[in-house]
Amino acid sequence: MGRVRQARKTTARRSGDWQEFQLIDWIRQCTQNQAIRREIHIGDDASSYRASGTMNELVTCDAMIEDVHWSWDWCDPRSLGYKIVAVNLSDIAAMGGIPKRAHLVLALPWQQKKAVVQPMLRSLIKTLNRHQVVLAGGDTVFSSGPMMITLTLQGEVAPQEMLLRSQAKEGDLLFVTGDLGAAAAGLDLLKQYKKVPSHYTVLTKKLLAPIPRVEAGRLLAHSGKVHAMLDLSDGLAGDVRHLAKASQVGIRLYTEYIPIALATRVAARHLKKDPLFYALCGGEDYELLFTASPKYTSEIFRLVQDKAKLSCHIIGQVVNKRQGIYQILPNGSRAPLPAGWQHPA
Ligand code: ADP
Ligand code: MG
């Protein structure tokens, strides 16, 4: 999971001389000869397996570590329990899937108190229940290290409805649900204030309690109108690159069309940050990014806005790979896209 790492000074996306995505690419190369037709392996939001019957099984897995992905200074146990479920649901949503079963690995410090673990687990189970997901197993271990929580989520999707990152077509429009950058602004606020002013709650909520777009994901997948989809966890700039690489295409992004909420803009000004930086490089938005032919634009707006009750924006276009990945600035000039979130040197 490439999420906003709260402690950006830590090794969350880097270990020794590896960067996260270099390491994943290397693992993927090592597993190349395992490829079996009809199975989707490393590289998408979830893996997929056609066991028998009519459905594809989906599996995704996300881990969160204390003082890397959350700090008890600003994240309470209930939020943590909710969030580990939400980020996994978001990956199943990105494949167009229906979540079904979960396995939970809890790695707890020896001294961890029940008063923390119980509300966290109650909230986790409540959130699973709300999505009709069964907690089917897991493992519990204790150590002298920080707390770590890992959830594996299984889901299913009809093979013809499954949406991958790799199917974007030249000429497609690039759509995004909701607005971007709010979670990154919320994180900066939480790090800056002991008590964040109440008018910024909408931003801290986006970080602590993102709403996985399961319904919109299903509607889009079922419509048959979408070519490629992924969820936004690494910041738009990073995730657009994932889409382009998987689909072997280029992307033209229109900077002025990127949806950024007023609260995010106000907070950015307050924090002396660029709201566009939050949207492009922040991460943890958990919105859906997808591509479809321009002829289906009104159908897509009908599904996302009218049925799923979410805002939806066209932010760019899929172009030939030779054109690369770039943004058109409000003055009409062309500029390279900044990197997604990167570890400071
Ligand atoms: P997401 O943000 O959608 O959760 P990630 O960026 O974490 O996805 O991972 C990208 C892809 O790499 C996914 O397909 C994931 O399953 C795979 N992946 C990540 N880490 C590993 C690993 N250690 N071993 C095998 N596959 C991995
Ligand atoms: Mg994802």
- Residues 145, 20, 232, CA angle at the centre, nearest 5°? 105
Distance 62 CA to ligand 2 centre (A): 9
The tokens for 248 are 């072997």
Residues flanking ligand 1, CB < 6 Å:
1-2, 24, 27, 42-45, 62, 91, 233
Distance 255 CA to ligand 2 centre (A): 22
β partners of residue 174: 291, 316
Please state the rounded mean pLDDT for residues 38-46: 79
For residues 233 and 284, give the distance between their C-alpha atoms in angstroms, rounded to a whole number.
4
Average pLDDT, the chain: 91
pLDDT at 11: 34
Residue 194: pLDDT band by 50, 70, 90 thresholds?
A: confident
At residue 134, the 3 state secondary structure works out as strand
Q: For the domain 16-157, what is the CATH superfamily, name and number?
A: PurM-like, N-terminal domain (3.30.1330.10)
Residues of the chain with CATH 3.30.1330.10: 16-157
Question: What residues contact residue 50 under an 8 Å CB cut-off, 6+ apart?
Answer: 38, 39, 56, 57, 159
**Per-residue DSSP letter, 234:** S
- Express each pLDDT in 303-323 by its tens digit: 999 999 999 999 999 999 999
Residue 345 has pLDDT above 50, yes or no: no
321 exposed, middle or buried (CB, 10 Å; 0-12, 13-18, 19+)? middle
pLDDT at 33: 73
- Residues around ion ligand 2, judged by CB within 5 A, are 45, 91, 231
Whether this model's pTM surpasses 0.85: yes
pLDDT at 157: 96
**Per-residue DSSP letter, 278:** I
To test the pocket of ligand 1, the residue of 14, 24, 286 to mutate (highest count of ligand atoms within 8 Å of its CB) is 24
Amino acid at 40: I
Residue 316 Cα to chain centre, angstroms: 19
Please state the rounded mean pLDDT for residues 334-338: 92
- Express each pLDDT in 143-187 by its tens digit: 999 999 999 999 999 999 999 999 999 999 999 999 999 999 999
Question: What residues contact residue 332 under an 8 Å CB cut-off, 6+ apart?
Answer: none
230 CA: nearest ligand 1 atom: 3
- Annotate 32-56 with DSSP letters as a single string: GGG--TT-B-BTBSSEEE--STT-E
The number of the ligand nearest the C-alpha atom of 93 reads 2
pLDDT at 183: 97
pLDDT at 13: 64
- Express each pLDDT in 59-71 by its tens digit: 999 999 999 999 9
42 CA: nearest ligand 1 atom: 14
Residues of the chain with CATH 3.90.650.10: 173-336
- Express each pLDDT in 66-106 by its tens digit: 999 999 999 999 999 999 999 999 999 999 999 999 999 99
Please state the rounded mean pLDDT for residues 223-251: 97
- Express each pLDDT in 107-139 by its tens digit: 999 999 999 999 999 999 999 999 999 999 999
Architecture of domain 173-336: Alpha-Beta Complex (3.90)
For residues 33 and 135, give the distance between their C-alpha atoms in angstroms, rounded to a whole number.
33
Q: Report in angstroms the alpha-carbon separations of 191 from 197, 306, 332.
A: 13, 36, 36
